[in-house]
Structure 1
Amino acid sequence: MPLSDLKLKQAKPTDKPYKLADGNGLYLLVNPNGSKWWRWDYRFGVKRKTLSMGTYPETLGSLAREKLAAARTLLAQGVDPSASRQDAKRKQAEAQQATIDTFEVVTREWMVREHEKVAEVTANKNRWLFETFLFPEVGHLPLGAITSRVLLDALRKIEAAGKQETARRAKIKAGQVFRFAILEGKVEADPTAALRGAIKRLKHKHHAAITDPAKIGQLLRDIDGFTGQPVTLVALKLAPLVFVRPGELRGAEWPEIDLDGNMWRIPGARMKMKVDHLVPLSTQAVAVLRDLHPLTSHGRYVFPSLRGASRPMSENTVNIALRSLGYHGDTMTGHGFRAMASSRLNEMGWDERAIERQLAHAEPNEVKGAYNYAAKYLEDRKRMMQAWADYLDALKIGSNVVPMHRKAG
């Protein structure tokens, strides 16, 4: 006969555990500490097992008997009730974990790790790519639910918007996230592996640049006539003299610059190759920076944002200024000053190795293998940077400059 509620309440602990039978193998185990457990002993195959039905009074007798009936039904069907319960718990845990390990959550974990290895501008571009294009489409989905088809549909939408290169890069970055997730045990497969060739790569288009000497001279004169913000004017004047990457220029900090020593030391954290970079400053570059010094040296950045000195100039400022001077994106860009210098310096006969080092071009294995990599060809580079600034001055005044052929020793 089933135990009454009164008998269940009145069951007192003793110095040893004891059982109160309820029927059909169900019993209440009363422990010396006062805890009361519903249990059922059964056999599955040759093994004797015990299944818990909950504690009293949290689980009343009526509910314990319902659980027993369900367990006996499974046993009659040849299913082990204990194994069935463990399987259900495992599936529930997996479902809960899936809601935690969404694409967006795991991607943000990856971005934190990646941020330690890449330049700030690269980290910002990664964040923009995911937040703008992938999170709205698949960010809410568990990683395991993102199949190759699901991801391809998201990439096709980017393609359809005329952003083919963005779609290609989104696929690459998504693959990096999935490979990170595989190593972390969050997912078993990378769906981007099946998408090889699905997004066609556009033919590489070089940054627009002016390399004709006469047109360079006109550009420099136009820059001198710029009537916009003074800080932007200095950035325009300095860009051709140092020809660093646009992100390195706008992120320049005053502590990096030694005006008395004519040297700009860019820390590896801000460089594409993650290696310190030395930029010898010509007398013209120093003069430009000295003019700016009273305006911005009270803050961190050489070229602070107009919206506040706590952040650097916007990445579009130089390009917008060039457009205001009549130089559109297919003619000249901020990045084009690098191609301008590379083209003309090679024509002038400077050692290609010194030019490439000044452009901070290098293979990763070369960087890792060079102890004093930042100072390679430094004396030649100092002479080259001064000669380059003098050459630009001559072009600006309209002189008929004959390229000076100078091979570094």
Structure 2
Amino acid sequence: MLTDIAIKKAKAADKPYKMTDGGGLHLFVSTAGGKLWRFRYEIGGKEKLLSIGSYPDVSLWNARAARDEAKATIRAGKDPGITKKLRKLSHVTSTANTFEAIGREWYELQKPQWAERHAHDVLVSLERDVFPTFGNVPIKDITAQEVLALLRIIEKRDAKETARRVRQRMSAIFVYAVASGRSENDPAAIVKGAMAPMKKGKQPAIIDLDKAREMLAKAEAEPAHPVTKLALRILALTAIRPGTLATTPWAEWPAGFDLWQVPAERMKMRLHHKDDEARDHLVPLSKQAVEAIEALRTISGRGPLAFPNTRHAHKPMSENAIGYLLNRAGYHHKHVPHGWRATFSSVMNERFRVDKPVIDLMLAHVPKDKVEGAYNRALHLDRRRELAQLWADLILDGAQPASALVMGPRR
């Protein structure tokens, strides 16, 4: 039997040689002086060698323990060499089956069908809120209780809506893992009913015409940058989405135009529609809207963006700037920038009930009828022009001209 002293004294020779310990275990000494533990065994009438590890990383005591374990495996009717390979494969598979590995795999599969901004939001939410906790955990080992605990942390930072989106994305990853044979259930689906309740309701908006006029007048009287005030007025007149307005390039507003064609790629729609020019949104502009745009041109018309950021001219303004202006005017939790769409819809539908389909077109709402959505995108343009002018006359009745906003008080 071998001893540690004998092993340490073993030197390289012209030819490799073996130092036998007994029970099939021996130390293989290479011509370079390397020392490798091997176990010789026979199974199925064939002689095989099992590599155990190198000395001194694997001590004599550990080599003997590995030999005894291999013998027990043989007695159980299994091949220790194959068992070792399966263990390695299991480790690799386990690493590949962590929540983060499968999550990123799912993300890359879904990404091509998403808009760039949405894809970015999905990945950021996973990297910020999920991967730090579950990234290295095998997905099949994650329980519903652990998922709920993670979501509770997000809810406690007053981000209940974010928690719901994270749960949905986690659930999609679990479903993908189940479908691909790497998990057995979706614990994120189980916890849906246990999440903190949210107040139901739409974004706050003033839908009374007189109150809407009063609000616009108060906001325009507040000290603010004229670009922000003109953005508020144009937003009210066009009922476009705030994010779409804030990123408008001057290229979409050539001098002397009265029909704004918003490219489909800037609209809120599915990715496969964003390259379809037929889905561009047409916005007929009232005389007052054109007047406001021309007033804006005197301020930012030399740059690429109609509404540049006041600190970084190459970046668009934040749509939050309009919201802060409304807040300062006393409308916090009463009306948000997006609320102008509700104001326009409520006032115009009340006065022109038969024009509801046209008003929906002006809001770029997707028709419930898919056939209508495919073939009725740009119809009623003349009536849309009329309604845009009627709305402008209503909401700006008694308002100051747009040129006055350029000279008004600033912050």
TM-score past 0.5 threshold: yes
* 3-state secondary structure, aligned to 1:153: helix
The residue type equivalent to 2:312 in the other structure is G
Tell whether the 8 Å contact from 1:318 to 1:334 is kept in structure 2 after alignment.
yes
The residue type equivalent to 1:48 in the other structure is K
* 3-state secondary structure, aligned to 2:195: coil
Task: Indicate the residue corresponding to 2:294 in structure 1.
Answer: 290
The residue type equivalent to 1:84 in the other structure is T
- Counterpart-to-counterpart distance in 2, 1:59 and 1:141: 29
Tell whether the 8 Å contact from 2:219 to 2:325 is kept in structure 1 after alignment.
no
Which of 348, 353, 357 matches 2:357? 353
- Counterpart-to-counterpart distance in 1, 2:310 and 2:205: 27
Alpha carbons of 1:48 and 1:102: their partners in 2 closer, same or farther (altered >3 Å)?
same
Task: Indicate the residue corresponding to 1:402 in structure 2.
Answer: none
The residue type equivalent to 1:355 in the other structure is I
The residue type equivalent to 2:87 in the other structure is A
Q: Normalising by the residue count of structure 1, what TM-score does the alignment of the two structures yield? A: 0.75
The residue type equivalent to 2:347 in the other structure is R
Q: Which has the higher contact order (CA 8 A, sep 6+)?
A: 2
Task: Indicate the residue corresponding to 2:48 in structure 1.
Answer: 50
Task: Indicate the residue corresponding to 1:341 in structure 2.
Answer: 344
* 3-state secondary structure, aligned to 1:53: strand
Which of 5, 9, 22 matches 2:12? 9
Listed one character per residue, the Cα deviations across residues 95-136 of structure 1 (whole Å, up to 9, x for unaligned) are: 4435xx444x66566566666544566456546655665556
- Counterpart-to-counterpart distance in 1, 2:211 and 2:228: 21
CA deviation after TM superposition for structure 1 residue 380, in Å = 2.7
CA deviation after TM superposition for structure 1 residue 395, in Å = 5.7
Listed one character per residue, the Cα deviations across residues 286-321 of structure 1 (whole Å, up to 9, x for unaligned) are: 221222224334444322223313332223211110
Alpha carbons of 1:305 and 1:365: their partners in 2 closer, same or farther (altered >3 Å)?
farther
Q: Normalising by the residue count of structure 2, what TM-score does the alignment of the two structures yield? A: 0.75
Task: Indicate the residue corresponding to 1:75 in structure 2.
Answer: 74
The alignment covers a number of residue pairs equal to 385
Alpha carbons of 1:272 and 1:368: their partners in 2 closer, same or farther (altered >3 Å)?
farther
Task: Indicate the residue corresponding to 1:405 in structure 2.
Answer: none
CA deviation after TM superposition for structure 1 residue 389, in Å = 1.7
Q: Does 1:324 align with 2:328?
A: yes
Task: Indicate the residue corresponding to 1:93 in structure 2.
Answer: 92
Moved more, 120-129 or 70-79: 120-129
Which of 267, 287, 296 matches 2:263? 267
Alpha carbons of 1:343 and 1:234: their partners in 2 closer, same or farther (altered >3 Å)?
same
- Counterpart-to-counterpart distance in 1, 2:255 and 2:179: 48
CA deviation after TM superposition for structure 1 residue 245, in Å = 1.6
- Counterpart-to-counterpart distance in 1, 2:369 and 2:11: 76
Tell whether the 8 Å contact from 2:18 to 2:26 is kept in structure 1 after alignment.
yes
Task: Indicate the residue corresponding to 1:206 in structure 2.
Answer: 202
Tell whether the 8 Å contact from 1:121 to 1:247 is kept in structure 2 after alignment.
no
- Counterpart-to-counterpart distance in 2, 1:11 and 1:220: 95
Tell whether the 8 Å contact from 2:25 to 2:37 is kept in structure 1 after alignment.
yes
- Counterpart-to-counterpart distance in 1, 2:164 and 2:322: 27
CA deviation after TM superposition for structure 1 residue 37, in Å = 8.1
Task: Indicate the residue corresponding to 2:146 in structure 1.
Answer: 150
The residue type equivalent to 2:365 in the other structure is H
- Counterpart-to-counterpart distance in 2, 1:184 and 1:269: 34
Q: Does 1:391 align with 2:394?
A: yes
Tell whether the 8 Å contact from 2:52 to 2:66 is kept in structure 1 after alignment.
no
The residue type equivalent to 1:247 in the other structure is G
- Counterpart-to-counterpart distance in 2, 1:60 and 1:127: 43
- Counterpart-to-counterpart distance in 2, 1:363 and 1:8: 84
CA deviation after TM superposition for structure 1 residue 239, in Å = 0.8
Task: Indicate the residue corresponding to 1:16 in structure 2.
Answer: none
Task: Indicate the residue corresponding to 1:190 in structure 2.
Answer: 186
Tell whether the 8 Å contact from 2:96 to 2:102 is kept in structure 1 after alignment.
no
Listed one character per residue, the Cα deviations across residues 193-227 of structure 1 (whole Å, up to 9, x for unaligned) are: 22242236545312222222222222232244232
- Counterpart-to-counterpart distance in 1, 2:372 and 2:137: 39
- Counterpart-to-counterpart distance in 2, 1:106 and 1:305: 39
Task: Indicate the residue corresponding to 2:405 in structure 1.
Answer: none
The residue type equivalent to 2:396 in the other structure is D
Tell whether the 8 Å contact from 1:265 to 1:277 is kept in structure 2 after alignment.
yes
The residue type equivalent to 2:48 in the other structure is T
The residue type equivalent to 2:291 in the other structure is A
Alpha carbons of 1:224 and 1:26: their partners in 2 closer, same or farther (altered >3 Å)?
closer
Task: Indicate the residue corresponding to 1:407 in structure 2.
Answer: none
Moved more, 105-114 or 242-251: 105-114
Tell whether the 8 Å contact from 1:281 to 1:385 is kept in structure 2 after alignment.
yes
- Counterpart-to-counterpart distance in 2, 1:113 and 1:290: 46
* 3-state secondary structure, aligned to 2:50: strand
Task: Indicate the residue corresponding to 2:311 in structure 1.
Answer: 307
Alpha carbons of 1:131 and 1:293: their partners in 2 closer, same or farther (altered >3 Å)?
farther
Alpha carbons of 1:56 and 1:166: their partners in 2 closer, same or farther (altered >3 Å)?
closer
Gaps of 5+ in 2: 274-279, 401-411
Listed one character per residue, the Cα deviations across residues 10-53 of structure 1 (whole Å, up to 9, x for unaligned) are: 3549xxxxx9694644578999xxx9987554334x45352332
Identity %: 32
CA RMSD for the aligned pairs? 4.2
Which of 160, 167, 170 matches 2:166? 170
- Counterpart-to-counterpart distance in 2, 1:368 and 1:283: 30
The residue type equivalent to 1:295 in the other structure is I
Alpha carbons of 1:137 and 1:259: their partners in 2 closer, same or farther (altered >3 Å)?
farther
CA deviation after TM superposition for structure 1 residue 365, in Å = 7.5
